[in-house]
Chain A
Amino acid sequence: MSEAMMAADGTPLKRSLARALRRQKLRALGLIAPLLVFVVITFIVPIGSMLFRSVENDIVSNTLPMTVQSLARWDASSGALPDEAVYEAMYFDMFLAAEAKRHTRLGTRLNYEQTGLSSLFRQSGRALDDIGKETQRPLEKLNKAWKDGETWHMLFNATSSADTNAALLSAQRARIARLTDTPANQEVNFAPSTAATALLPKTGRAYTAWAVYVATQDGRDPATRDPWEAVATALALDLKTVDVSGYSGPGAELLVEAQSADLPVPALSAAFADMDEDWATDVPWKTIQTHSGIYTSGYFLNAVDAQKTPDGVAWQPDDKQILQKLFGRTIWMSLMITFSCIALGYPIAWLLANLPMRKANLLLILVLLPFWTSLLVRTSAWKVMLQQQGVINDVLVWIGLVDDANRLIMINNQFGTIVAMTHILLPFMILPMYSVMQTIPPSYLRAAKSLGATNWTAFWRVYFPQSVPGIGAGSILVFILAIGYYITPEIVGGTKGVFISNRIAYHISSSLNWGLAAALGSILLAAVLVLYWAYDKIVGIDNVKLG
């Protein structure tokens, strides 16, 4: 082994070299830093967060935490309905969610998986109050003190700091923070008493949840306000199962009186069935159970017309299968557009490359002219051209090629989309072709001919192979632009000539199914990357010349 080589200053050459290189790299990084930061903040982060939505699913467990927990024990394949405990958990979860106005969002989310759940959740959210009223009224009739918010506060507020059930309070704070997606750590004028919440666990939890909610979300003082009906329901349920006679905390005599009065207790499963008969089927429960994870593959499955069911992955019903077809159509039409662009662009690029400079420049301006016109204007112009009472049909009728009663249908279908998009994307094909063709020396063609080749052979064997890199570059550009096009198909595509991107736009702005839109977008991105990779393998990306 030879000794390590040393630099002039005595450090090992290797280290010295590495240091110099690192400095260089840092300087280079410093130079691109502004652009890098800009791209990361305005492009990568938003797109990343949007794509993350395709797997995010914490809305179910955040909105219905207790239901998800107790439903985990239910065997969906047993054919039996979940037991009373699940309905009970659902009642308290849903009540809180309805107060926070989150149940409709959850209903919308679950409706993506099971049609009908959106309306079920909305209607149930409205009807829920009635269940609680049925227990609240007899209680208040029994003793007016129950009408008073201070009674409830006295019952459950800790008398000393040693008596405070801090765990319950922080658990309810966390629950409300997750539900409302806003912090819930403000001051609450209430601390649950360990003794009272141990005696009446359901009531203690329901009251604490209410107190935290009104204090943190509405900014009100729980000591002076009436709790929700759900708290009265919880009390009725508790009084059925526990014995309060030995209790000596504040308000004990009220509890003893209430227990001896034998208040009506709602059977929550029956009450839910009463609200909507769908609750008495296993459909909503199966859906909630299947989709209770905080991450889901559901959106990606939906994006390929499949769905997650308790029995594994299954195809959607036939009348809902449209997305695979749309993906296929998008790729097929993008290919059609790419080939049309090649067919129309190649002769023009050839002309551009072979005309004298002055004429070529004029032609180039003509090619670029539509490029400088607004996209919407060009698309609308095609509408005027192609429609049944449009310019082309009028001319055809006028020269007698087409009967007035049978005018051609050239818009609001695939033909319209292909024509308009070919026109719009044509410059992206011509320009790379032109720049490649310019570099092909005309002497090659002359040499081929002087060696006896016909015009066609000279073109096909000598000229064309050298222009392929231009075709490749143009095709990649046009295809990738076409596959994600939105506004042109929307305007001229009708229902048969629209792309998957129109579907994504629909889910972003109209149906608000952002998870599915994100999944569709991810698939589209992956498809483009795969095609790019395939192109690299077959043609070689080094052969692509953009100029």
Chain B
Amino acid sequence: MKLTKTLLATTALTVAAGTAFADGHMAGDMTLVSWGGAYQASQQNAYVAPYLEMNPGVTAVWDESSAEAVAKLRAMNEAGSVTWDVVDVVAADAIRLCDEGLALEIDADEMLAAAPDGTSASDDFGDLLVSDCFIPQIVYSTTFGYRTDLVGDTAPTSVCAVFDTDAYPGKRSLEKRPINNMEWALLCDGVAKEDVYDVLATAEGQDQALAKLDTIKDDVIWWSAGADTPQLLADGEVVMGSTYNGRLFAAIEEQKQPIGMLWDAQVFDLDGWIIPTGLSPERQARALDFIKFATDTQRLADQAKYISYGPARLSSAPLVGQHATLGIDMAQHMPTDPENAKNTFLYNYEFWADYRDDIDAKFQAWLAQ
């Protein structure tokens, strides 16, 4: 271990020496990690730019590494040199980071802003505080979009259309990981919604889900970046595909593509901040200060002006207005809108934290067969 540590430290030193000149942590630099694209832009507009204006000494550096955040934070932790200050991750990754002691535990009421009416932060976020380390920002959903001109006369209304290659021939795009796909497969294989995770916890249940996915395996294009499905839909390469609802919103409303939303069995998920452990006290204090500002009621509502993801605070919902440039009402495009949320699927964080390694290994092996 000692050898590895020395070696890793040397490596980190070299890397740090290289980057120190570029963005270093001298004066008031703060490294924010996010996903890039429209989402990062919404964060920049809604709260990073205002925060920098309020704090003239601070500068922000973006790192678009959220997809590899867990791997990179683990490497930084082992090397003993954490260069990120706040990291935007999905809830499942936050749970994993928290479990491994790589993310700072947050006392919501003490460290986060209360709602304008005085409701405490823990009540305002409610059940969305799924981990001790996680400060949720948005509710997004993974759901399906379909080509309105390629599905014939009957537009799909059920998620099971994905598995129905007779009624809807053509390719479909699914994410290259088991999460969500396994649940949809079981739902469409006759498992009741409330039993899905019980079934999926057993080896037979996992095989059942894979067997269902096997029926469409030759018709699937697997994606790993959120932008893939909108592109595949726009090209007409796939007839339907799963992705994040905000990406579909952009394709439909901003790029005017002939795409329809299939909200059925959409899976709600959360995205939010974590603060890595191992920061110096000054950096940690600044990160906490930023988080407190960035996740207050008004800031989260502001973010919804730029992207169609629902704010994670109850008190933000009434403040959601119109799109900043398109001028359309955003409420009806939120995954949480009652019309869209008629049949939603609740993502079980604890289940996936426990079973992710097991099912991932099986799924990847199945994929490569």
List residues of A whose CB falls within 8 A of some B CB.
41-42, 45-46, 48-49, 52-53, 56, 58, 62, 100-102, 104-105, 107-108, 111-112, 115-116, 118-119, 122-123, 178, 181, 319-322, 325-326, 387-390, 412, 490, 494-495, 498, 503, 506, 508-512
Contact check, B70 vs A512: say whether CB atoms are below 8 A apart. yes
CB-defined contacts of B367 to chain A, threshold 8 Å = 495
B365 contacts A105, C-beta separation under 8 Å:
no
A108 and B70 CA atoms in complex are apart in Å by 14
Does B337 belong to the interface (CB within 8 Å)? no
25 contacts between A and B (CB under 8 A): A41-B10, A46-B7, A49-B4, A53-B4, A58-B1, A102-B100, A105-B100, A111-B358, A118-B354, A118-B355, A119-B358, A122-B99, A122-B353, A123-B354, A181-B1, A320-B361, A322-B365, A322-B369, A387-B237, A389-B236, A389-B237, A498-B368, A509-B71, A511-B361, A511-B364
Q: Which residue of B lies closest to A119 (CB)?
A: B354
Across-interface contacts of B100 in A (CB, < 8 A): 101-102, 104-105
Beta-carbon nearest neighbor of A511 in chain B: B360
Q: Given contacts A105-B100, A389-B237, A494-B222, are A325 and B368 in contact (CB under 8 A)?
A: yes
B358 touching A116 by the CB < 8 A rule? Answer: yes
CB-nearest residue of chain A to B224: A490
Secondary structure call for the A interface = helix
Q: Confirm or deny: B8 has a beta carbon within 8 angstroms of a beta carbon on chain A.
A: yes
A510 neighbours in B (Cβ, 8 Å): 71, 177, 360
Given that A115-B358, A118-B358 are known contacts, is A48 also in contact with B7, CB under 8 Å in the complex?
Answer: yes
Which chain A residues lie closer than 8 Å to B366 at the CB level? 319
Extra A-B contacts (17), CB below 8 Å, given A49-B3, A118-B354, A118-B356: A41-B10, A41-B14, A42-B14, A48-B7, A52-B4, A104-B100, A105-B100, A115-B361, A118-B357, A119-B358, A319-B365, A388-B171, A412-B221, A510-B71, A511-B360, A511-B364, A512-B71
Cα of A490 to Cα of B221 in the assembled complex, Å: 12
A102 to B74, CA, bound (A): 13
Within 8 A of A (CB), among B1-56: 1, 3-5, 7-8, 10-11, 14
Chain A neighbourhood of B10, CB < 8 A:
41, 45-46
Tell me if B149 counts as interface (CB < 8 A to partner A): no
- In the complex, what's the smallest C-beta–C-beta distance from B68 to chain A, in angstroms? 5
Which chain A residue lies CB-closest to B75?
A514
Q: Which residue of A lies closest to B177 (CB)?
A: A510
Question: In the assembled complex, how far is the CB of residue A363 from the closest CB belonging to chain B, in whole angstroms?
Answer: 34
Q: Do B221 and A49 touch across chains, with their CB atoms under 8 A apart?
A: no
CA distance A390 to B62 in the complex (A): 35
Given contacts A105-B100, A322-B368, A412-B221, contact A122 B354 (CB under 8 A): yes
B226 within 8 A of A: no
B181 to chain A, nearest CB (A): 14
In this complex, what residue of B is CB-closest to A329?
A: B368
Residues on A with C-beta less than 8 A from B8 are 49
In the complex, B362 has a CB within 8 A of chain A = yes
**What is the minimal beta-carbon distance from B177 to any residue of chain A, in angstroms?**
8
Q: Name the A residues within 8 Å of B365 (CB-CB).
A: 319-322
Which of B7, B8, B96, B362 has the largest count of A CB atoms less than 10 A from its CB? B7
Contact A319 B362 (CB under 8 A): yes
Q: Which residue among A45, A322, A495 has the maximum number of chain B CB atoms within 10 Å of its CB?
A: A495
Cα distance A41–B99 in the bound complex, in angstroms: 33
Q: Does B205 contact A (CB under 8 A)?
A: no
- Give CA–CA (A459, B169) in the complex, Å: 53
Question: Hey, which bits of chain B sit against chain A, CB under 8 A?
Answer: 1, 3-5, 7-8, 10-11, 14, 67-68, 70-71, 74, 78, 96, 99-101, 171, 177, 221-222, 224, 235-237, 353-358, 360-362, 364-369
A108 lies within 8 A of B357 (CB): yes
- Least CB distance from A351 to B in Å reads 36
**How far is B4's CA from A45's CA once the two chains are assembled, in angstroms?**
10
Task: Note all chain A residues with C-beta closer than 8 A to B99.
Answer: 101, 104, 122
* Residues of chain A contacted by B67 (CB below 8 angstroms): 509
Q: Are B361 and A508 in contact (CB under 8 A)?
A: no
Residues of B within 8 A of A107 (CB): 357
Given the complex, which residues of B lie within 8 Å of A495, measured CB to CB? 222, 367-368
CA distance A116 to B364 in the complex (A): 16
By secondary structure, the B interface counts as helix
A104 to B356, CA, bound (A): 12
In Å, the complex CA distance between A181 and B80 comes to: 10
Chain B residues within 8 Å of A62, by CB: 1
In the bound complex, CA of A256 to CA of B96 (Å) = 45
CB distance from B41 to the nearest CB of A (A): 21
B218–chain A nearest beta-carbon distance, Å: 10
CA distance A506 to B364 in the complex (A): 10
Compute how far the CA of A452 lies from the CA of B64 in the bound complex, rounded to whole angstroms: 67
B7 to A, closest residue via Cβ: A49
Chain B residue at minimal CB-CB distance from A125:
B99
A115 and B235 contacting across the interface, CB-CB below 8 Å: no
CA distance A475 to B213 in the complex (A): 40
Among the listed A116, A494, A511, which residue makes an inter-chain contact with B221, where contact means beta carbons less than 8 Å apart?
A494
User: Which residues of chain B come closer than 8 Å to A49, judged between CB atoms?
Assistant: 3-4, 7-8, 11
> With A105-B100, A119-B355 in contact, is A56–B4 under 8 Å at CB?
yes
A111 touches B235 (CB 8 A): no
In the complex, A74→B361 CA distance in Å?
Answer: 30
**A122 CA to B222 CA in the complex, in Å?**
30
B71: A residues at CB distance < 8 A? 508-510, 512
With both beta carbons as reference points, the residue of chain A lying nearest to B236 in the complex is identified as A389
Residue of B nearest to A109 (CB): B357
The 9 closest A-B pairs by CB, nearest first: A49-B7, A101-B101, A118-B357, A119-B354, A322-B368, A46-B11, A389-B236, A104-B99, A509-B71
Q: Which of chain B's residues have a CB closer than 8 A to the CB of A387?
A: 235, 237
A412 to B220 Cα, complex, angstroms: 10
A115 with B362: CB separation less than 8 A: yes
CA of A506 to CA of B221, assembled, Å = 18
Smallest CB–CB gap between B149 and chain A, Å?
12
Residues in A with CB closer than 8 Å to B221 are: 412, 494
Cα separation A204 to B341 with both chains bound (whole Å) = 57
Q: Do residues B11 and A111 form an inter-chain contact, with CB atoms below 8 A?
A: no
Report the separation of the CA atoms of residues A509 and B101 in the bound assembly, to the nearest whole angstrom. 18
CB-CB under 8 A from B171, the residues of chain A are 388
Is the beta-carbon distance between B354 and A389 smaller than 8 angstroms? Answer: no
Provide the residues of chain A in CB contact with B74, threshold 8 Å.
512
Instruction: State whether A326 touches B368 (Cβ < 8 A).
Output: yes
Min Cβ gap B172→A in Å is 13
Give the distance in Å from the alpha carbon of A509 to the alpha carbon of B73 in the complex: 11
State the Cβ distance, A412 to closest chain B Cβ, in Å. Answer: 6
| B44: min CB distance to chain A, Å | 24
Closest to B72 in A: A509
Closest to A104 in B: B99
Complex CA distance for A514 and B355, rounded to whole angstroms: 19
* Residues of A contacting B70 in the complex (Cβ-Cβ under 8 angstroms): 512
CA distance A118 to B352 in the complex (A): 11
Q: How far is the CA of A487 from the CA of B14 in the complex (A)?
A: 25
Of all chain B residues, which has the CB nearest A502? Answer: B368
